[in-house]
Amino acid sequence: MIVKHLAALQNFGSMDILCSDKTGTLTTGDMILDKYVDTAGAVLERVLFLGYLNSYHETGIRSPLDTAILAHKTLDITAYTKLDEIPFDFERRRLSVVVAQGDKRLLITKGAPEGVLPLSTQFEAEGQRHPMDSDAMERCKKTYQELSSAGYRVLAVAYRDAEVQSAYRAQDERDLTLVGFLAFIDPPLEGVVEVVNSLKRDGVTLKILTGDNELVTRHICEQVGLEVGDIVMGDDIQRMSDTALAHVAENSAVFARVSPAQKNRILIALKNRQHVVGYIGDGINDAPSLHAADVGISVSSAVDVAKDAAEIILMERSLEVLHHGILEGRKAFGNVMKYLLMGTSSNFGNMFSMAGASLILPFLPMLPTQILLNNFLYDLAQITIPTDNVDASYINRPRRWDIGVIRNFMLVIGPLSSLYDFLTFYALLKIFHASPTLFHTGWFVESLATQTLVLFVIRTTGSPFKSKPSVPLTVTTVLIVLIGILLPYTPFAATLGFAPLPLGFFVFLFFVVGTYLLLVEVVKRWLMRREGLAIGK
C-alpha cells in the first residue's frame, strides 16, 4: 500500500463508509464471455460476430467486456472496413461503429439492453427480420433479465443498414434490428464474504455504486452476503434533490445504473451527513469521485489519471488488503492521539510550573540548557510510539479528530502535573534545603520522570497493567528516565549545571511518580467516560 499523503492515513482509519464498484472488489474483475444468444436465448454465432466487429473497431478505451469478446475467439473480419464510430457515453450506454462490406454499409450497436432495446424496431430470428411488437419486446426483455438474474453481465447487439453520409452521430442509432445478447461471467472473489463481514464488524459500511443493472447487481451482492434491500437506480437519483439524495444515500447500500456524475453526487451527499467517505476506483471516469471522497483509493494497475487523483494506492486490488489498511490507519491514528495527549498535557503543565516558579524563586527554576536537554530526552522517549500496540476497543470502530478531548485532557492533566511540580519545589526547598544547582537537578529529574513515564498510563484507555506496550516503547521510555537519573553522576554534570542528588530524594521521587501515575489513571478514566469514549480492558 502506497500512501501519497500522510493525512490520508488518518482519514483511512476514520472512514465509516466505503463506496466501490462491485467489479474487481466483490468480483475478480476478469470478464469471460460465456454465452452469445439470440432474442429467445438460443446460441447464435452471428451475435458474437457482430459484437466482435464492434469491439475490434472501437478506438476508445476498451472495457473488460470488449477485451473478453476479442479474447474469446479470433474471427476473420478482413472483408469489413471501418468508416466511422459513435463513441460510448454514460447517458446512451452504448457504442456504435459503421463498417463497409463492398457497397453495403452497416451500423452495429452494442451496449446496455436498456439503451439498445428502445431503439430496436425489429428483431432477427432464424436469419429473418421481424417487427418488434409489444410481445416480442417482452420476450427480449425476459431473455436478458433471466441472464442478469443468473449473475451475467449482458450486452445487447443490434444493427441496421446505414445510409451513405460523411459522418454518423448518435441520432443515427435508430430503427435497429436486435440480433441477441452477449453474456459475461465475473465470479465473486474467494473469501470476499468474510471480508465484507469483517468490514461491517469494524464499523465500515460498504456501499456498491455500479453501472450494471439491478438484477446482476443484486445477484452478486447476495452471493457475497451484502444486505441489498431496495436498490436505488440512476434514473431515480437524477430526479432527486440533494436533500432527498442525502437521506437515501445514507440508508441504501446498493446503487445500480449510476453514471460517474451520479456517483459524485452520492459521495458529496454522504459527506454532508458527516460521514468520512472512502471511494475506490481505477478508471478515468473515477477521477472526480476519487477527488470528492475523503479518501480516494486506487490500485497499481489503474489508469494514470485515477492514480494521480487517489491518495492511497493499493498494490493489490483486494477488499482484504483494504481492510488491513483501515485497521493500520486506526492504529496510526491511535498512536498519534497518544503523542498529542501526552505532549499537550505535559507542555501545558511545564509552562504553568515554570511561570509559577519564576514568581516565587530568586533564581531560574531550570537553566535554558537544561530545558533544551529535558525536551530532547522527552522527545527521544516518544520516537517509538508508532511501534506501540493499540487497544482493540480503539481499533474496532472508526475514530475522528475531536479537539475537545485533547483540550480537556490538557486542561485537567496539565495542572495535575504542575501540582506535583510544586510539591517537588516545596520538598527541594524545605526538606532538602536545595541550592540553585541542586534545585535545577531535582526538578529536571522529576519533570523528566513524570512526563515520560505517564505515557504508560495515557497510551491505553483501560488499565495500563492489562494493555501491553511494545518492547521498543518500553525500552526507550525506561532508558530515557535512567539517563536523566544518571546524568548528575557523570563527568558532564558540571557542564550541564547538575549536582548529585541525595538518596532521600529518590525515595521522594518514587512516591511522587507512583502517586502521580495513579492519580492520572483515575482522572483519565473519568475523562474518557465523560467524553463518551470506550474504556479498554
Q: What is the 3-state secondary structure (H, E, C) of 401-438?
A: CCHHHHHHHHHHHHHHHHHHHHHHHHHHHHHCCCCHHH
**Catalytic one among 16, 21, 38, 391?**
21
Distance of alpha carbon 25 from alpha carbon 38, whole angstroms: 31
Question: Grid coordinates standing for 321?
Answer: 488488503
Is 103 a residue of the active site?
no
Helices (H), 170-259: 192-201, 214-223, 234-239, 242-251
Give yes or no for a contact between 259 and 92, defined as CB atoms under 8 angstroms apart: no
From residue 356, alpha-carbon distances to 24, 331, 349, 444 in Å are 62, 38, 11, 16
Return all residues near 465 (Cβ < 8 A) that are at least 6 apart: none
DSSP 3-state of 110: strand
- Bridge partners, residue 43, by sequence: 37
From residue 487, alpha-carbon distances to 342, 376, 408, 493, 498 in Å are 24, 14, 34, 6, 8
Give yes or no for a contact between 56 and 110, defined as CB atoms under 8 angstroms apart: no
Helices (H), 102-191: 113-116, 134-149
User: Which residues are part of the catalytic machinery?
Assistant: 21
